Amino acid sequence: MPAIFLSHGAPPLVDSERWVSELAQWSADLPRPKAILVVSAHWEAAPLTIGATATGTPLVYDFGGFPRRFYEVTYRSPGAPELARQVAALMPDSEPVYHQLDRGLDHGAYVPLTVMYPDADIPVLQISMPTLDPARLLELGCRLRPLREQGVLIIGSGFTTHGLPFLRDPSPDATAPGWSAEFDAWAGERLAAGDVDALVDFRSKAPGMPFAHPTIEHFAPLFVTLGASNDPEQEPQQVIDGFWMGLAKRSIQVA
């Protein structure tokens, strides 16, 4: 099973016909997962914390100011208690693992899944990002890599640029600001070159910083995906590109 990094965006991205068609086609081209493991930009907790494993745990509507319909979305995917046990077993004894059984999927997880797997018939588990250190997240992805052999789809869910405070035009088709376009082009080039060292050091090497990521949690899940690949220095398949509200939607798939 491949591993992927996707730019999930805000809940209104489901109103973007282009994004919906891109995600739907992507999932149609993937092997059908036996289970899905999500690391989202919207859950930072240390040590590593495993979320709800019971079917029907309420979603986390971790956003504000949107129309009521976005707070009425449901995604009743099966729980994944066996996957939770496997994740815990893959972590070293020196690093404790917590469980937060009432922590449902946040919008970084369920929004793209409502498009990719709308029937909600695949078990889904979300785990926290225990750190924002790219090197440590590569290690986490490496530890999770064996799950792919069992048909688990590992998803890092973030956004290739996320400079929300610096956007001047909030319309979906807004022209990308220079800092967003420059960072996105750099990221695409470094991914194509398999230049993991440069990506790890993006805060000092990438153009457009710190505007592209005034905080880095939306780029961080990329490193879990790269770590879960068979070779972090491979050239990934860059499945989605372009912009939404001027933010870069670049999304990748690794073998």
The per-residue pLDDT for range 193-237, each reduced to its tens digit, is 999 999 999 999 999 999 999 999 999 999 999 999 999 999 999
**Residue 254, C-beta contacts closer than 8 angstroms, at least 6 positions apart:** 2, 3, 4, 225, 226, 228, 229, 230, 234, 236, 237
Residue 16: both structure tokens together: 């973007």
Give the other-Cβ count within 10 Å of 148's Cβ. 20
Phi, psi at 153, each rounded to 5°: -85, 115
Distance (Å, rounded) from C-alpha 226 to C-alpha 76?
Answer: 29
For residue 184, CA distances in Å to 95, 124, 129, 173, 224 come to: 34, 29, 23, 16, 19
User: Which pLDDT band, with edges at 50, 70 and 90, does 64 fall under?
Assistant: confident
Are 49 and 99 contacting, i.e. CB atoms less than 8 angstroms apart?
Answer: yes
Q: Mean pLDDT over all residues of the chain? A: 96
Fold of the 3-254 domain: Protocatechuate 4,5-dioxygenase; Chain B (3.40.830)
DSSP-derived letter for residue 232 is T
User: Which pLDDT band, with edges at 50, 70 and 90, does 181 fall under?
Assistant: very high
User: Which pLDDT band, with edges at 50, 70 and 90, does 10 fall under?
Assistant: confident
Closest C-alpha among 45, 142, 161, 144 to residue 86? 144
Mean pLDDT in residue range 83-96: 95
Rounded to two decimals, the pTM is: 0.97
Distance (Å, rounded) from C-alpha 55 to C-alpha 75?
Answer: 10
Please report the pLDDT score of residue 41 as a whole number.
Answer: 97
DSSP-derived letter for residue 166 is G
Please report the pLDDT score of residue 12 as a whole number.
Answer: 87
Please report the pLDDT score of residue 13 as a whole number.
Answer: 86
Q: Is beta strand 35-44 parallel, antiparallel or unpaired with respect to 152-158?
A: parallel
- Whether the bond between 210 and the residue before it is cis, its omega within 30 degrees of 0, is yes
In the chain, domain spans: 3-254
Q: Which amino acid is at 116?
A: M
Are 244 and 16 contacting, i.e. CB atoms less than 8 angstroms apart?
Answer: yes
Distance (Å, rounded) from C-alpha 100 to C-alpha 89?
Answer: 17
Distance (Å, rounded) from C-alpha 245 to C-alpha 10?
Answer: 10
**Residue 52, C-beta contacts closer than 8 angstroms, at least 6 positions apart:** 79, 100, 101, 102, 103, 104, 105, 126
Closest C-alpha among 205, 168, 206, 203 to residue 184? 206
User: Which pLDDT band, with edges at 50, 70 and 90, does 192 fall under?
Assistant: very high
